[in-house]
Structure 1
């Protein structure tokens, strides 16, 4: 049978450089912030760590640079038990970095410098074929080049592996990629981008599920999520949580969703579990440092 993974993530691995601010600066303005904190991050690494911390067997396909940030990230991923067999070090290239400001309400603004992530390509995915086809669920995002995402989704789908696309950051994607998604996971801003217009979450989720993906999930932060598929549209509430830092909460949600789908849950049951993971993640600072273990999840 060979090795199996619950969730394999093909995606970014970044160092998060985080500064807290009382308010975000206006154009041309300087404001003082907190001491700089460096955390392991990147949507790909975040989702792999979150799935592993919830008890899943997780692997990652990605790239880091040959610098101190790359060493930090390798150590963090290994410490949570993520399989690093296909995390490639890229000579002469910096590791990806996310510049994050966190306001007093816990909301964040992020600028990503891709670094080595921009070098991830279809050849890397092909080299990781055994890992990709040995997964129950493959999760992809858009912090790495689209050709790598398409290659991963195609290899996974042809092998009967479920594909979850977290379309973040928002960008145009071909219809043949959307058709492989089960589900497509987006927040309200990303949903509005794809639909070329906003609307209420239920309407957007239904429209997305009818536009190519086999199913869709629109995440709404503290308001939970909306799930849409051939069975209709369902609102998924979120447990109440006092938000300290929302960085990584969406990744915790997506990782938990992937893990529960890998374990055989229905999409709605998986989304209810994922909402609990997302709520838990806002209670501590940082991304990976905030991800819960199963006994830290709030009650349903």
Structure 2
């Protein structure tokens, strides 16, 4: 089983400077579950070599990471996990970057509008399951980082599974979370909206499912949504029943908050947390 994450690797400035981005959190998560994982990305000449070397040591294939610009996409991030500002941005991912890529799951994890519809369409052609994180599509960079509908219309009605958080859903649709879920479900086969420590809502053709997250003493919530997306794709590929899929995705995201920074997550910890995830059908 193979997983490929597509999007910008980032340099995140917090209390310390560390590697970040959906592609990093997702690929490390997949590798931790024993999957063959790779990253398709573009970074700058300022990306520390030891950051990429560490990913390789953890079993992530970085052969498709190109140094194609002066400065890597770099964010300032607050303790609340939300980026405060964009200091620099690398160039866009192209369809050519996907040439000869072979992956069962492709996780499109843009963080700064670096993925377009053509890349998404190519991903659909070459993979069995494609997930699209909408965070990097809905962000507007103007005196900080704001949320709006952004480039969402460019991606509507693609056969992809989409994930976004509650604030992004409200900004994208102008509706409350439940209304946003219903609107987006008219354009995508599966939609998941994460609700922070409250869990997540899922829209499937069968109905709407709510998964309540277990209470934990979180250490670091950065990247939890990225892990959630990766887990959702893996659960779909494994063919899990919908309630089990919801438990696995929410438990995986919760488990990620118990660690500092991007890392592998023990599947035994995920299984333990799954037992505390309460699921219920809201509609269906």
Deviations 1:21-61 (A, max 9, x none): xxxxxxxxxxxxxxxx2222112222222221232221111
Query: How big is the shift at 1:78?
Result: 0.9
Question: Partners of 1:74 and 1:64 in 2: how far apart?
Answer: 10
Alignment-derived partner of residue 129 in structure 1? 99
Contact 1:217 1:227 in 2 (8 A): yes
Question: Partners of 2:103 and 2:87 in 1: how far apart?
Answer: 26
Query: Any gaps of 5 or more consecutive residues in structure 2?
Result: 140-149, 275-284
Instruction: Go from structure 1 to structure 2 and tell me whether the alpha carbon gap of 1:267 and 1:176 turns closer, same or farther (over 3 Å shift).
Output: farther
Matched, 1:142 2:110: yes
Query: How big is the shift at 1:231?
Result: 0.7
Query: How big is the shift at 1:165?
Result: 0.9
Runs of 4+ in 1 over 4 A off after TM superposition: none
Query: How big is the shift at 1:174?
Result: 4.8
Q: Secondary structure at the match of 2:160?
A: strand
Query: Any gaps of 5 or more consecutive residues in structure 1?
Result: 20-36
Q: Secondary structure at the match of 1:119?
A: coil
Alignment-derived partner of residue 24 in structure 1? none
Question: Partners of 1:196 and 1:11 in 2: how far apart?
Answer: 27
Contact 1:55 1:294 in 2 (8 A): no
From 245, 254, 257, the equivalent of 1:270 is: 245
Matched, 1:251 2:226: yes
Deviates more, 1:176-185 or 1:45-54: 176-185
1:146-295 to 2 correspondences below 5 Å: 146=114, 148-159=115-126, 161-169=128-136, 170-171=138-139, 172-175=150-153, 177-197=155-175, 199=176, 201-210=177-186, 212-286=187-261, 288-289=262-263, 291-295=264-268
Alignment-derived partner of residue 32 in structure 1? none
Alignment-derived partner of residue 273 in structure 2? 299
Matched pairs, number: 262
Instruction: Go from structure 1 to structure 2 and tell me whether the alpha carbon gap of 1:71 and 1:215 turns closer, same or farther (over 3 Å shift).
Output: same
Instruction: Go from structure 1 to structure 2 and tell me whether the alpha carbon gap of 1:112 and 1:149 turns closer, same or farther (over 3 Å shift).
Output: farther
Question: Partners of 1:281 and 1:231 in 2: how far apart?
Answer: 29
Query: How big is the shift at 1:293?
Result: 2.0
Contact 2:11 2:73 in 1 (8 A): yes
Q: Secondary structure at the match of 1:240?
A: coil
Query: How big is the shift at 1:109?
Result: 3.6
Matched, 1:118 2:90: yes
Question: Partners of 1:253 and 1:228 in 2: how far apart?
Answer: 15
Question: Partners of 1:57 and 1:111 in 2: how far apart?
Answer: 33
Deviations 1:166-223 (A, max 9, x none): 10142423546232243210100111112123x2x4443222212x111100101111
Instruction: Go from structure 1 to structure 2 and tell me whether the alpha carbon gap of 1:181 and 1:190 turns closer, same or farther (over 3 Å shift).
Output: farther
Q: TM-score, structure 2 length as denominator?
A: 0.83
RMSD over aligned Cα, in angstroms? 2.2
